[in-house]
Structure 1
Amino acid sequence: MSDNNTAFKPSLRLIDATMLVAGSMIGSGIFIVSADITRNVGSAGWLIFVWLITGFMTLTAALSYGELSAMFPKAGGQYVYLKQAYNPLIGFLYGWSFFTVIQTATIAAVGVAFAKFTAYLLPQFSEDLVAVNLGFLKISPAQLLAILVIVLLTLINNRGVKSGKIVQTIFTLAKLLSLIGLIGFGFYAFNAKIWTANWQSAWDLHKLNKDGSIASYTSIAAVGAIAAAMVGSIFSSDSWNNVTFIAGEIKNPKRNIGLSLALGTMIVTLIYIITNIMYTGVLSLHDIALAEKDRVAVSVSQQIFGYAGTTIIALLIMVSTFGCNNGLIMAGARVYYSMAKDGLFFKKAGSLNKNAVPGFGLWIQCLFACAWCLSGKYGDLLDMISFVVVVFYMLTIAGIFILRKKMPDAERPYKAVGYPVLPIVYILMGLTFCILLITYKPNYTWPGLIITLAGIPVYYFLARNTTKIENADLVDVE
């Protein structure tokens, strides 16, 4: 039973918000994607450079979002920022993409990753087995387990924000400490010969094929290779903005959202870069690039701990992905709540249940994410999401310039760091990345763009059937 008069309860402290940022960012990517990055760039220097440039982009975006979060400390986050800076259509296209691709497909990808590593401990959950054969669709035990985890976390978050907060803080602290431990043991197992060999030609950019052969790039193709390599690192660094969606439940949001964005992204960026430096001191580039099923962290852990390494990493990734999905599930439903309040989503998503959370939004998100679990491979989802996400990040950061002209007298308790230089640099870098990705990896970038544009007729259909959008107060600044 829902109660339309129920209000969000501000119960998340700065530490909780920071754990949401860090926990939503760290899923399975850091343990896997370095293999594909290494195949694209072929050298240790460029491997670290890809993570550095991604970290710079993430930090720049997070510091820029601080200004917007302080201006609009309400549920919905990025959806609200885009609506205020541009118009309701742009806000809706983000919310539509968020529901159809960005959040739900990410939840699915992280859920499937959880299941894949569970299979290391319990082989009956292997993705190579068939649990259900429908003829046109074969469903693996891994997919079923991913669905089960998504449903379980939805149930937990449906019980109230405090339930979700406890799970988030415990699992995020556990994986941060575990990652730091892995880094420490990795440097203890440091191999000087491997390190020297890996860094001898640190800036020799080339392709490492899966058969172990090397291929050279032309100048233009080299730039495209770097963009292709960044797909993995951007996916691994994404979802830092989830804390903005849950602003209505954060204590002192005008201060704590911006701070949590800065702290969370800095912590994760530092851990990611140090982890990859550690990889190059334990495994040869060949072993990183050709790790079985791209599971670099498993290969590293086996070098450090021997046979037990597989179990250790499997447990670490299970903790990591479980906590990551909890943060994604918790935050996502708040966007649908804000859209529903504008008459642009299912009406029931705009009300809170007796536990003061958007229960209907949580369950409709759960349903769509479960459908994504059955849809395809981890890499397919990763490529599609990265392109669409960066497009909306660019639009949102450009919105800072628009809002400074459109609403010059609005209260800005926090201002974007490095304005206007850093926001402009991010937009230029993001634009370059998107153009190169369309050119060199079109198969899974165009589908994401098409899904986004498909929201245009949906928006006009919804707008025609409600007068809320015409009457919305677009200058409501809390």
Structure 2
Amino acid sequence: MQPTHSQSLPRVLGPWIATAIIVGTVIGSGVFKKGRNVSENVPEFGLAMGVWVLGGLLALLGSLALAEVAVLFPRAGGNYVFLREGYGRMAGFLWGWVEFWIIRGASAAALATMFTDSFHDVLRQSLYPGQRVEVLTFWPRQLLTVFVLAGLATVNMRGTFLGGAVQFAITVLKVASILFIITLPFGVYALVAEPTYPPTLGHLSPMWPSGAINWSGFGVALVGVLWAYNGWMNIAPIAGEVKDPSRNIPIALLAGVFILITLYCGANVAYYLVLPRGAIVAKDAAGQLSATPLATEFCSVLLGPVGVVIASAIVMTSVLGALNGNILVGPRLLYAMGQDRLAPANFARLHARYQTPALAIAAMTSWACLLVVGVGALTHYRLPLIPLGFHDLDLNVPEGKSPFDIMTDFVIFGSATFETLAVATIFVFRQRIPVTPENRPYRCWGYPLVPALYIAIMGAVLANMFISPEQRTEAIVGMGFIGTGALVYVACFQSRKA
């Protein structure tokens, strides 16, 4: 690699690719995986759909506010820049600390793990149709996951436009795949004279709880849905590479979120029409929710063994797109922090030929690979999360919780905390920077109600994570990690000039 000190990243991304980056990085595993968690905690169809709609509305409220901030600061780094400019260098550093070590690394690791699991399903169905045979054992699957991460990192090192073009192509495929899932029950019903599993309205009952709503369960389900929508902010870190940012950033944010709400709600209605709730919340012998994605079970019921292969291919394509988007977007944070000397300065160097932050890409991908191996071993061998002392805090890995769910819950705690603070910077900048047509070509619709409502709901979600036994470990450990980051900043960076 031949690094050079380039001053800025080139603006090469138009509105189509910018929108594809949002949709492509968001649609990954959540729409196929988290429906089981939602149905387990919210048994009523109407309320379960309300969780999916609320998750989308939260993303919409946040995007309406964040678009204004992103247009003010269209630079590489996204939330890091917003928090640094709004609250100071320590706030920016803490976002970078949590985003690198937990949010982005765990997202990439979780997505890569699910890609390998789906590949394993295809392999098993091809070699042993209808049998639950483990074709690849634990360590070969970990090695394959690492190879997938390394391969996508190599693609993104070779050019931002190349990575964006790959993202656009995969996004088109994954949107088409979800539309296939949405229409499949009705296609089968129309083409088959007497389908074995026709769409059944009876599966939508009960529609609403007969008594009081279990708000704690609703909150746990919402955390799962927030993982499905996680990444709607991903236009911000690459804002410095978007053409005409004052126009294209708001377009990409709003169009992307509307597409997501439509696809997610449509797919979940299709699942419920075909699968009874007992099949959705099925558990294995260990008491863990079935690891089979809902899309796989859904297509298997309608199309038989070939449906398993089709669904696994859909999941693989979707997860691959989200994973590529994370590897494209995530390293821009290290690039921005390297420029500010809040991370190793070499992260701010661009490759002399490809003009990409290649070293930052390599660092983020390497950490994701370590998480794949570490969290996989933690759950595979049932190792304690805190082996020495502190047992009274009950911070060990819950029985029956998969590596995927552990990593995604950590992601949501970290992202919800700092992304809420990032949206709140709109109030800071409204006071600090005069509102004029020149510096505000886009202004948040519904200000101040829209950002205030987003902040209030996300605050309630975070509070519920500390209350809920299913997510308390992730919340407490996450807060401890943020505190550790504050100590690192004070020890290493407090005396440096801004």
TM (normalized to structure 2)? 0.86
Matches within 5 A, 1:294-333: 294-333=292-331
Between 288-297 and 352-361, the greater mean CA deviation after superposition? 288-297
Query: Does 1:444 pair with 2:470?
Result: no
Q: Answer yes or no: is the 8 Å Cα contact 2:332–2:360 preserved in 1.
A: yes
Among 237, 261, 265, the alignment partner of 2:229 is 237
Aligned to 2:267: 275
- Matched to 1:407, the amino acid is I
- Matched to 1:273, the amino acid is C
Aligned to 2:255: 263
Between 408-417 and 182-191, the greater mean CA deviation after superposition? 182-191
Give, in angstroms, the shift of residue 431 of structure 1: 0.7
Matches of 1:278 and 1:429, distance apart in 2: 28
Among 444, 452, 473, the alignment partner of 1:424 is 452
- Matched to 2:66, the amino acid is Y
Query: Does 1:374 pair with 2:373?
Result: yes
Matches of 2:262 and 2:8, distance apart in 1: 37
Task: Assess, with a 3 A threshold, how the Cα gap between structure 1 residues 308 and 127 changes in structure 2: closer, same or farther.
Answer: closer
Between 449-458 and 310-319, the greater mean CA deviation after superposition? 449-458
Task: Assess, with a 3 A threshold, how the Cα gap between structure 1 residues 127 and 101 changes in structure 2: closer, same or farther.
Answer: farther
Give, in angstroms, the shift of residue 23 of structure 1: 0.3
Matches of 2:340 and 2:186, distance apart in 1: 52
Give, in angstroms, the shift of residue 130 of structure 1: 7.4
User: What RMSD, in angstroms, separates the aligned Cα atoms of the two structures?
Assistant: 2.0
Give, in angstroms, the shift of residue 243 of structure 1: 1.4
Task: Assess, with a 3 A threshold, how the Cα gap between structure 1 residues 99 and 264 changes in structure 2: closer, same or farther.
Answer: same
Q: Answer yes or no: is the 8 Å Cα contact 1:33–1:294 preserved in 2.
A: no
Matches of 1:341 and 1:58, distance apart in 2: 30
Q: Answer yes or no: is the 8 Å Cα contact 1:127–1:141 preserved in 2.
A: no
Give, in angstroms, the shift of residue 317 of structure 1: 0.8
Among 397, 412, 418, the alignment partner of 2:440 is 412
Matches of 2:198 and 2:162, distance apart in 1: 49
Q: Answer yes or no: is the 8 Å Cα contact 1:128–1:140 preserved in 2.
A: no
* Residues 210-268 of structure 1: CA deviation (Å, up to 9, x unaligned): xxxxxxx9x58x11100111121100110111111111111111211111011111101
- Matched to 1:416, the amino acid is C
Q: Answer yes or no: is the 8 Å Cα contact 2:15–2:248 preserved in 1.
A: yes
Q: Answer yes or no: is the 8 Å Cα contact 2:120–2:136 preserved in 1.
A: no
- Matched to 2:146, the amino acid is I
Aligned to 1:434: 462
Aligned to 2:108: 107
Matches of 2:493 and 2:28, distance apart in 1: 37
Aligned to 1:338: 336
Q: Answer yes or no: is the 8 Å Cα contact 2:11–2:240 preserved in 1.
A: yes
- Matched to 1:384, the amino acid is F
Q: Answer yes or no: is the 8 Å Cα contact 1:22–1:264 preserved in 2.
A: yes
Among 402, 405, 408, the alignment partner of 2:428 is 402
Gaps in structure 1 of 5+ consecutive residues: 132-138, 206-216, 473-478
Aligned to 1:200: 205
Task: Assess, with a 3 A threshold, how the Cα gap between structure 1 residues 101 and 425 changes in structure 2: closer, same or farther.
Answer: same
Give, in angstroms, the shift of residue 29 of structure 1: 1.3
Give, in angstroms, the shift of residue 464 of structure 1: 4.7
Give, in angstroms, the shift of residue 128 of structure 1: 5.8
Give, in angstroms, the shift of residue 127 of structure 1: 11
Aligned to 1:37: 38
- Matched to 1:234, the amino acid is L
Aligned to 2:350: 352
Between 393-402 and 107-116, the greater mean CA deviation after superposition? 393-402
Q: Answer yes or no: is the 8 Å Cα contact 2:109–2:371 preserved in 1.
A: yes
Matches of 2:198 and 2:315, distance apart in 1: 29
* Residues 184-212 of structure 1: CA deviation (Å, up to 9, x unaligned): 1133346898633223321127xxxxxxx
Q: Give the secondary-structure state (helix, strand or coil) at the position aligned to 1:204.
A: coil
Give, in angstroms, the shift of residue 183 of structure 1: 1.0
Q: Answer yes or no: is the 8 Å Cα contact 2:203–2:274 preserved in 1.
A: no
* Residues 134-157 of structure 1: CA deviation (Å, up to 9, x unaligned): xxxxx5322221111111111011
Matches of 1:302 and 1:250, distance apart in 2: 41
Task: Assess, with a 3 A threshold, how the Cα gap between structure 1 residues 193 and 149 changes in structure 2: closer, same or farther.
Answer: closer
Task: Assess, with a 3 A threshold, how the Cα gap between structure 1 residues 5 and 386 changes in structure 2: closer, same or farther.
Answer: closer
- Matched to 2:182, the amino acid is I
Q: Answer yes or no: is the 8 Å Cα contact 2:185–2:199 preserved in 1.
A: no
Q: Answer yes or no: is the 8 Å Cα contact 1:246–1:331 preserved in 2.
A: yes
Matches of 2:37 and 2:6, distance apart in 1: 50
Aligned to 1:463: 493
- Matched to 2:279, the amino acid is D
Aligned to 2:397: none
Give, in angstroms, the shift of residue 379 of structure 1: 0.7
Q: Answer yes or no: is the 8 Å Cα contact 1:245–1:332 preserved in 2.
A: yes
Give, in angstroms, the shift of residue 449 of structure 1: 2.0
Q: Answer yes or no: is the 8 Å Cα contact 2:36–2:281 preserved in 1.
A: yes
* Residues 149-168 of structure 1: CA deviation (Å, up to 9, x unaligned): 11111101111112201210
* Residues 7-58 of structure 1: CA deviation (Å, up to 9, x unaligned): 4111111000000000000111111110111011112112101101111101
Matches of 1:127 and 1:69, distance apart in 2: 49
Matches of 2:467 and 2:417, distance apart in 1: 15
Aligned to 2:73: 72
Matches of 2:204 and 2:272, distance apart in 1: 8
Query: Does 1:385 pair with 2:411?
Result: yes
Gaps in structure 2 of 5+ consecutive residues: 190-194, 284-289, 376-402
User: Number of residues paired by the alignment?
Assistant: 447
Matches of 2:225 and 2:487, distance apart in 1: 33
Give, in angstroms, the shift of residue 422 of structure 1: 1.2
Aligned to 1:82: 83
Give, in angstroms, the shift of residue 313 of structure 1: 0.7
- Matched to 1:239, the amino acid is G
Among 226, 238, 248, the alignment partner of 2:240 is 248
Give, in angstroms, the shift of residue 445 of structure 1: 1.8
- Matched to 1:261, the amino acid is L
Matches of 1:409 and 1:49, distance apart in 2: 36
Instruction: Give the % identical residues.
Output: 28
Q: Answer yes or no: is the 8 Å Cα contact 1:127–1:143 preserved in 2.
A: no
Q: Give the secondary-structure state (helix, strand or coil) at the position aligned to 2:236.
A: helix
Matches of 1:130 and 1:307, distance apart in 2: 20
- Matched to 1:283, the amino acid is L
